[in-house]
Amino acid sequence: MSDASSLNLLSLLPEMLVALAGLLVILANAVGRDSADGAHRWISLLGVLSALWFTLNPLATGAAMSGTAVHDGLAMAGNTVILAVLLLLLLGGESYLKSRRIPLAEYHSLSLFAATGMMSLVSAGDLVTVFMGIEVLSISLYCMAALLNEEEGGREAALKYFLTGSFASGFLLFGMALVFGFTGTTNLDAIAHSLTSLDTDNWMLIGGALLMLIGFLFKVSVAPFHNWAPDVYDGSPAIVTAFMSTAAKAAAFTGLARVFVPALGEAADAWIPMLALCAALTMILGNFSALVQDSFKRMLAYSGVAHAGYLLLGILAASSDSAHMASVLFYLLPYALINGVLFLVGAAISRQRSGKNLLDDFKGLAADSPLLAILITVCLLALAGIPPTAGFVGKFYLFMGAVDAGHVGLACLGILTSVVSVYFYLRVIVYAWFHKAPAGSAPWTPLDGGLVLVTGLSALLLLVLGVWPNLWLSITATI
Amino acid sequence: MNYLIVFLELLLSMALVVGALAFSRLLAPRPAVQTESRPYECGAELVGNARVRFHAGYYLVALLFLVFDVEAAFLYPWAMAQAQVGLVGLIEIVVFISILLLALVYAWKKRVLEWL
Amino acid sequence: MENLVFILLSLLAVLGGLGTVSMRNPVHSVLCLLLTMLCLAGHYILLQAPFMAAVQIIVYAGAIIILFLFVIVLLNLRDDVLKRRTLPMGRLYYIPAGLAVMLVLTGLFRAGSNWISGGPAPEGTIEALGMELFTKWVYPFELTGVLLLAAMVGAVAMTRRDKEEG
């Protein structure tokens, strides 16, 4: 059992590299001089880049660590999204970190540990690994949400996040215990296998599946379990919000897909009605709440809730035909990139004006910096799902999948609520291009070059993926 | 296994605590007037209490204790099974200990162990 | 006899849990939690997992309860602080929690006695546990290390900034 072949350590290389980078950051901080702040960034960058390389060019794949980890296409796509976000924040977030005096070593190591948790969740082969992954990523994110305390609300956000998060973990764990009680195993493959021979019309199994689903829906902020998201996203440092609303959500969605579609797929009748209901509620509540927000961060938070609803459509489609999993994975990358860019750039723009992340801060942006206005426009159009961006392609696949799986009503609801969402995305664009900056606002100072470059490249990638979706689809479809 | 003896020990230790409290209640001298137990029997009226709020840094010591408590709990099964798990098990436990050791080094450098 | 002990322990554990959430004084809450933890340790013994029982007492009833008490006693909350301690929107969470409890209870009653179809419980000896832990479960085990380190770093980061402010 303990021989090297069943461990298959090489397939875990990306996770190990990221974790090692986190450990090295701590070590460098503990033994190095205080002035060696740049080291944290370089270590993180090296770790993330090498992990990304070995994710896209794996030395080994398949089950690892006696089946507690599985490196398949799902893991590869999920890891890529997580590492891409991490890379974006590492390259573009330096000026934000410096300006808010966030402790660098702690920020970098915690984000690497959170990424370790996310990656092990994405490649989990066992319910125990799923839970450990979620806990590692959650604990790290709770602490990261509290890193900023010069502003009121930072600690409140962290506390709210912690309370809801641990509440959700309780549901998740209880559900896992019931599923374990019913099937006698925690291995995802073995669960799927045992369910083919067991009577799935059992209340223990259904209860377990639904409790786990509630836990996951909390983590991905799906209505009616989404109440925490706007407050937490609003109160946390923008760079942490950018991380948790993208990478953590992508990881939780991939984990959800992994647990429910292959493992509990036989019991789909139990959880599909609830998932469909939540998806409908999420799309309606998320989009209509976003309409009335004055704060850019809160608007994006509600738009994130709405997008969780769209992604649930993909999971629903995948439960009837697993080929549709590719559409969920496809959309995760543009979604993560857009939100990462918008939170980062939005914070930088707002700092020049009111500093409170208001929508009004975008007024007159085109006159001050046409480049940034174009960037914001591309990202918001992609979020609204307007061609030729990757957002359009992603939404198209999601809705088509829902239609294929017979959820025509939900797909229609998705399209209708997307139309509603165009209003609040367009409002920012109209502010940027056709409004004048409020009188008495300070003269514009150009943003940090690195930030503009890396976010610009991300926006370009959105356009490229919109025109040639196969670049990324070919990776996500290898499951 | 027979847990009766464990149960008896539990009872015995409970009896010890209850007994100690009861004895001190019986034997301790009790002031006839309530004011006698105050720090000052005359003069200014007492406002609030003398206890102050402690700094959050002290909790870290308790947290550090928790971390190494968990480590010890994991070390025990390793020690019992180390003949079977061999070198691989040794490497695994060393990795685990090193990670936690890093937590100690970090806390040390951040002056968590210093008394404020 | 075993059933009697089980019922007694379960009742005490539930009572402790109810006390934890309903006591006004946080120290009493923690003591109720301690009762629950000890009862759970008793359950582990009933399940023939003495090591788990010992860990439950050492780590949970010992270290974690001590940590809670440490925080609560040192925080030195006054009565006026304790009165206004409801979380905004906190009531909302009762809804899913209540639904979940209802779900499980219905399930238990519907399923009757033979709902566990899993294999027999693994051996509870410490050697067996060590073997399992260091062969099959290495990966989650090492993740535990990362989890503890992340928690430590986060806690230090949160309190250290207070220190600098004075």
- The predicted model gives A303-326 an average pLDDT of 92
Give bridge partners of residue A124 from the DSSP assignment: A69
Residue among B62, B74, B112 minimizing CB distance to C156 = B112
CA pair distance A392, A407, nearest whole angstrom = 20
Only one residue has tokens 């809705």, namely A399
Give the tokens for residue A406.
């017979």
- Rounded to 5 degrees, φ, ψ at A344 are -65, -50
Beta bridge partners of A126: A187
Domain B4-109 fold is Methane Monooxygenase Hydroxylase; Chain G, domain 1 (1.20.58)
Mean pLDDT of chain A: 89
* ipTM confidence: 0.92
Q: Locate the domains of chain C by residue range.
A: 1-85, 125-166
Instruction: Please choose, from the candidates A120, A10, A88, the residue with its C-alpha nearest in 3D space to the C-alpha of residue A336.
Output: A88
Give pLDDT, residue C62: 86
Phi and psi at residue A187, to the nearest 5°: -70, 130
Cα-Cα-Cα-Cα torsion C118, C124, C126, C129, nearest 10 degrees, comes to 0
A vs B: CB pairs below 8 A: 19
Chain B residues near residue C67 by CB distance under 8 angstroms: 59, 62-63, 65-66
Contact by Cβ (8 Å): B102, A30: yes
* pLDDT tens readout for residues A64-78: 888 899 998 899 999
Q: Return d(Cα A4, Cα A290) in angstroms, integer.
A: 52
Interface test with C, best of B47, B82, B110, B115 (most C CBs within 10 A): B110
Q: What is the pLDDT of residues A419-470, one digit of tens each?
A: 999 999 999 999 999 988 877 777 888 888 888 999 999 999 999 998 998 8
What residue of A is the nearest CA neighbor of B103?
A26
Mean pLDDT of A124-153: 87
Of A111-125, A258-272, B96-110, C110-124, the one with minimum mean pLDDT is C110-124
What is the domain partition of chain A in residue ranges? 4-476
Q: Is C135 on the interface with B (CB under 8 A)?
A: yes
Q: For residue C154, what is the nearest residue in chain A, using CA coordinates?
A: A143
Dihedral over Cα of B107, B110, B111, B112: its sign: negative
In contact, A20 and A116? CB cutoff 8 Å: no
Nearest to B78 among C58, C130, C142 (CB): C130
Which residues, 6+ apart, have CB-to-CB distance to A412 below 8 Å? none
Q: Which two tokens stand for residue B93?
A: 């436990």
d(CA C75, CA A396): 54
User: By CB neighbour count within 10 A (0-12 exposed, 13-18 middle, 19+ buried), where does A474 fall?
Assistant: exposed
Question: What torsion do the CA atoms of A358, A296, A87, A216 make, to the nearest 10 degrees?
Answer: 140
pLDDT of residue B103: 93
CB pairs < 8 Å spanning B and C: 138
Query: Quick one: which of C54, C35, C34, C58 has its CA closest to C44?
Result: C54
Contact between chains at A129 and C136 (C-beta distance less than 8 A): no
**Better-scored residue on pLDDT, A167 or C73:** A167
Cα–chain-centroid distance for residue C64? 9
The pair of three-digit structure tokens given for residue A29, joined into one six-digit string: 């901080």
Is the separation of the CB atoms in A121 and A252 below 8 Å? yes
How do residues C97-117 score in pLDDT, each as one tens digit?
A: 677 777 766 766 665 555 444
The CA distance from A357 to A46, in Å, is: 32
Inter-chain residue contact B85 with A23, CB threshold 8 Å:
no
% of chain A beyond a pLDDT of 70: 96
Asked if residue A358 lies in contact with residue A427, where contact means CB atoms within 8 angstroms, the answer is: no
The contacts of residue A451 (CB under 8 Å, 6+ apart) are A92, A93, A94, A95, A96, A344, A345, A348
Range of weakest confidence among A123-137, A158-172, B31-45, C101-115: C101-115
In this complex, do A117 and C140 lie within 8 Å of one another by their Cβ atoms? no
3-state SS assignment for residue B3: coil
Asked if pLDDT for residue B5 goes beyond 70, the answer is yes
What is d(CA A191, CA A12) in angstroms, rounded to the nearest whole number?
23
How far C25 CA sits from the closest chain A CA (Å)? Answer: 20
Q: Which of C70, C141, C144 sits opposite B59 (nearest CB)?
A: C70
Residue A95 has pLDDT above 50, yes or no: yes
Cα distance between residue A228 and residue B39, in whole Å: 49
Q: What is the DSSP letter of C56?
A: I
Q: Please identify among residues 43-102 of chain B the ones whose CB lies closer than 8 Å to any CB of chain A.
A: 85-86, 88-89, 99, 102
For the residues A393-405, what does the mean pLDDT come to?
93
Instruction: Kindly state whether A133 is in contact with chain C, defined as any CB-CB distance less than 8 angstroms.
Output: yes
Cα first-last separation, chain A: 27
C1-85: CATH topology is Four Helix Bundle (Hemerythrin (Met), subunit A) (1.20.120)
pLDDT in tens, A141-200: 999 998 876 555 567 888 889 999 998 999 999 999 989 888 888 999 999 998 888 887
**Which positions 422-451 of A are in contact with C (Cβ < 8 Å)?**
none
pLDDT confidence tier of residue C83, bands split at 50, 70 and 90: low
> Radius of gyration over alpha carbons of chain C, in Å?
20
- Whether the CB of A445 is below 8 Å from some CB of chain B: the reply is no
Least confident of A372-381, A386-395, B23-32: B23-32
Nearest CA of chain B to the CA of C133: how many Å? 8
Q: Does A121 touch chain C (CB under 8 A)?
A: no
pLDDT over 90, % of chain C: 25
Contact B105, B98 (CB under 8 A): no
The beta strands (E) that lie in chain C are given as none
Distance CA A254, CA A119 (A): 10
Contact between A27 and A83 under an 8 Å Cβ cutoff? The reply is no
**Partners of residue B92 in chain C, C-beta under 8 Å:** 134, 138, 141-142
Closest CA to A242 of A142, A334, A343: A343
Report whether C152 contacts B102 (CB < 8 A). no
The 3-class SS string of chain A reads CCCHHHHCHHHHHHHHHHHHHHHHHHHHHHHCCCCCHHHHHHHHHHHHHHHHHHHHCCCCCEEEHHHCEEECHHHHHHHHHHHHHHHHHHHHCHHHHHHCCCCHHHHHHHHHHHHHHHHHHHCECEHHHHHHHHHHHHHHHHHHHCCCCCCCCHHHHHHHHHHHHHHHHHHHHHHHHHHHHHHCCCEHHHHHHHHHHCCCCCHHHHHHHHHHHHHHHHHCCCCCCCCHHHHHHHHCCHHHHHHHHHHHHHHHHHHHHHHHHHHCHHHHHHHHHHHHHHHHHHHHHHHHHHHCCCEHHHHHHHHHHHHHHHHHHHHHHHHHCHHHHHHHHHHHHHHHHHHHHHHHHHHHHHHHCCCCCEHHHHCCHHHHCHHHHHHHHHHHHHHHCCCCCHHHHHHHHHHHHHHHCCCHHHHHHHHHHHHHHHHHHHHHHHHHHHCCCCCCCCCCCCCCHHHHHHHHHHHHHHHHHHHCCHHHHHHHCCC
H or E element that contains B90? helix B57-109
Are C152 and B103 a contacting pair at CB < 8 A? Answer: yes
Angle at C13 between CA C9 and CA C15, to 5 degrees: 115
Chains contacting A (3 or more CB pairs within 8 Å): B, C
Q: Are B59 and C70 in contact (CB under 8 A)?
A: yes
- Are residues A305 and A437 in contact, defined by beta-carbon separation less than 8 angstroms? no
Secondary structure element (H or E) that encloses residue C3, with its range: helix C2-22
Q: Is some CB atom of chain A closer than 8 A to the CB atom of C70?
A: no
User: Is pLDDT at C51 greater than 80 in this prediction?
Assistant: yes
B89: closest chain C residue by CA:
C134
